C-alpha cells in the first residue's frame, strides 16, 4: 500500500451531516475502452472537466470536508490534477492499492486514514455514478434509522442487468439478489445505485490484504450477521457512466442541466465550448455537445449530443452525433460519426461513416472512405 497524507485535522460530524467521504476510483473501466486506455474512468472529461470533479463538487455542497480517493489503475494521474483539493474547498488524500483490492477491499485499505469517530457516518461513492441524489437525505436516513450502512437505491425499468435490493416496509434491506434470470426472480425494481453511508466501524472491520467485493461479499455478509442495512429509494437523476453510450449521455445531461453539478464550467444554451476551442461560425453544436480546450471545429460541421475532447479536430462538413471524440483525435471532412467512440489520437479520414457501437482504438488511422455503412448487410 502506498499512502500520501495531508496535514492531520480532526473531523467532526453533526447529526445529519457527513464530513468525510471515500471515493472508489481504482477500477480499470474495461467497458469504457478505449477511453480508459490512457485515462482512468473518473478522469475522462464530462462537460469539460474530469468526471470526478462533479462528484467532488457535489460532496462538498453536501457538507463533506475531506475525501479519501481509493486509487489503483493509473493512480498517478489523480494527484497532479486535484492536488490537496483546496481549489475545490476540500482536503484530499490519495491511497493507492498496489494490486486492485475490489470495491470492498479498497474501503478496508483506506480505513486507517479516516478521522471520523467509530460511530460517525462516512459517505462512500462509486467513482462512475452521475446522480442528483440528495446526499443530506441519505445521511439523515442513516442517522434516524440507526443503520450500520445506508444505501442509495434507484428504480430501473428493466432490472435484469442488475443485482436487486428488496426492502421491507420500513426501508430495511431484506436481501441482496444476483441478476435475475427468470421473470419470477424479479421481486423488486430497486437496485444498488453505488452511493452509501457507512458507520465508520463497519469499514474498519473489512478484511485487509485481499480482494473483497462490497456488493457480493461485504453487504450480504453483514446482512447474514444481523447488521442493519437501510435502503433509501431516491428516483432522482441516476446514470452509471460505465459504457461509452452512457458516458456521452451523462456529459450531455450535465451540459443541459438535467444532471445537477456545481462544477460545469459554464454553458451557452445547450452546448459548452471551452475558452480555447475554435469553432467555425457556421458549425452547428446542439443537444449538450461539449467542445474541449484547443479543439477545432470546421465549417459547416454539425455536432449533437457529443463530447469532443481537448485538442480534437472535426473537419468541415462532418456530422457527429451521440459520440465521443477522444483527445487529439481527428475526424475527416464529411465523415459521419453516430453513436461511436473515437479513441485519443485516432485519425478518421474524410468520407467515412461510423455507426452505433463502433470503437476506433487510440492512435488508429482509417484512410479516407474506408468505412461505409450499409443497411443491406
Torsion, Cα 108 7 66 71, to 10 degrees, reads -50
Query: Which residues neighbour 330 within 8 Å (Cβ) at sequence distance 6 or greater?
Result: 312, 313, 315, 346, 347, 348
* Closest CB to ligand GTP among residues 244, 332: 244
CA angle 321, 322, 327 (to 5 degrees): 90
Q: How far is the CB of 242 from ligand GTP (least distance, A)?
A: 5
330 vs 49: CA distance, rounded Å: 21
* Closest CB to ligand GTP among residues 28, 267: 28
* Closest CB to ligand GTP among residues 93, 128: 128
Q: Are 37 and 362 in contact (CB under 8 A)?
A: yes
Phi, psi (deg, nearest 5) at residue 5: -120, 160
Q: How far is the CB of 79 from ligand GTP (least distance, A)?
A: 14
* Closest CB to ligand GTP among residues 41, 200: 41
Q: What is the DSSP letter of 99?
A: S
* Closest CB to ligand GTP among residues 32, 303: 32
Q: How far is the CB of 129 from ligand GTP (least distance, A)?
A: 7
CA angle 131, 132, 135 (to 5 degrees): 100
Q: How far is the CB of 36 from ligand GTP (least distance, A)?
A: 8
Applying CB under 6 A, the residues found at the interface with ligand GTP are 24-32, 41, 70-72, 97, 100-103, 106, 126-128, 242
The catalytic residue among 28, 41, 179, 284 is: 179
Q: How far is the CB of 198 from ligand GTP (least distance, A)?
A: 15
Residue/partner pairs of 336-344 with CB below 8 Å, 24 or more apart:
336/373, 337/306, 339/245, 341/34, 341/35, 341/244, 343/34, 343/35, 343/37, 344/34, 344/35, 344/37, 344/38, 344/39, 344/309
The three three-digit cell numbers of residue 28, written as one number: 480499470
- Asked about 60 being catalytic, the answer comes back as no
Residues taking part in catalysis: 179
Amino acid at each position: 500500500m502506498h499512502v500520501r497524507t495531508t496535514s492531520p485535522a480532526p473531523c467532526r460530524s453533526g447529526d445529519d451531516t457527513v464530513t468525510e467521504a471515500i471515493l472508489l476510483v481504482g477500477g480499470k473501466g474495461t467497458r469504457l475502452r478505449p477511453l480508459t486506455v490512457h485515462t482512468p474512468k473518473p478522469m475522462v472529461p464530462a462537460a469539460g472537466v474530469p468526471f470526478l470533479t462533479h462528484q467532488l463538487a457535489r460532496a462538498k455542497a453536501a457538507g463533506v470536508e475531506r475525501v479519501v480517493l481509493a486509487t489503483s489503475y493509473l493512480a498517478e494521474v489523480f494527484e497532479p490534477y486535484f492536488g490537496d483539493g483546496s481549489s475545490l474547498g476540500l482536503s484530499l488524500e490519495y491511497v493507492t492499492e498496489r494490486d486492485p483490492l475490489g470495491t470492498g477491499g479498497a474501503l478496508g485499505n483506506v480505513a486507517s486514514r479516516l478521522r471520523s469517530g467509530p460511530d460517525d457516518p462516512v459517505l462512500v461513492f462509486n467513482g462512475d455514478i452521475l446522480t442528483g441524489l440528495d446526499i443530506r437525505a441519505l445521511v439523515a436516513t442513516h442517522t434516524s434509522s440507526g443503520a450500520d450502512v445506508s444505501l442509495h437505491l434507484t428504480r430501473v425499468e428493466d432490472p435484469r442487468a442488475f443485482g436487486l435490493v428488496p426492502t421491507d416496509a420500513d426501508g430495511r434491506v431484506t436481501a441482496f439478489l444476483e441478476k435475475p434470470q427468470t421473470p419470477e426472480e424479479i421481486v423488486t425494481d430497486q437496485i444498488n445505485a453505488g452511493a452509501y453511508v457507512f458507520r465508520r466501524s463497519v469499514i474498519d472491520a473489512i478484511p485487509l490484504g485481499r480482494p473483497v467485493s462490497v456488493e457480493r461479499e461485504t453487504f450480504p455478509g453483514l446482512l447474514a450477521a444481523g447488521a442493519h442495512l437501510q435502503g433509501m429509494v431516491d428516483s432522482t437523476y441516476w446514470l452509471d457512466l460505465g459504457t461509452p453510450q452512457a458516458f456521452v449521455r451523462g456529459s450531455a445531461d450535465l451540459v443541459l442541466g438535467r444532471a445537477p453539478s456545481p462544477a460545469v464550467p459554464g454553458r451557452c444554451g445547450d452546448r459548452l465550448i471551452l475558452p480555447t476551442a475554435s469553432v467555425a461560425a457556421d458549425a452547428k453544436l446542439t443537444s449538450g455537445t461539449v467542445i474541449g480546450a484547443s479543439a477545432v471545429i470546421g465549417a459547416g460541421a454539425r455536432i449533437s449530443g457529443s463530447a469532443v475532447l481537448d485538442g480534437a479536430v472535426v473537419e468541415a462538413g462532418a456530422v457527429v452525433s451521440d459520440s465521443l471524440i477522444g483527445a487529439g483525435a481527428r475526424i475527416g471532412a464529411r465523415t459521419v460519426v453516430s453513436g461511436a467512440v473515437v479513441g485519443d489520437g485516432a485519425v478518421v479520414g474524410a468520407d467515412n461513416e461510423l455507426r452505433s457501437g463502433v470503437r476506433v482504438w487510440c492512435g488508429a488511422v482509417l484512410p479516407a472512405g474506408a468505412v461505409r455503412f450499409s443497411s443491406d448487410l
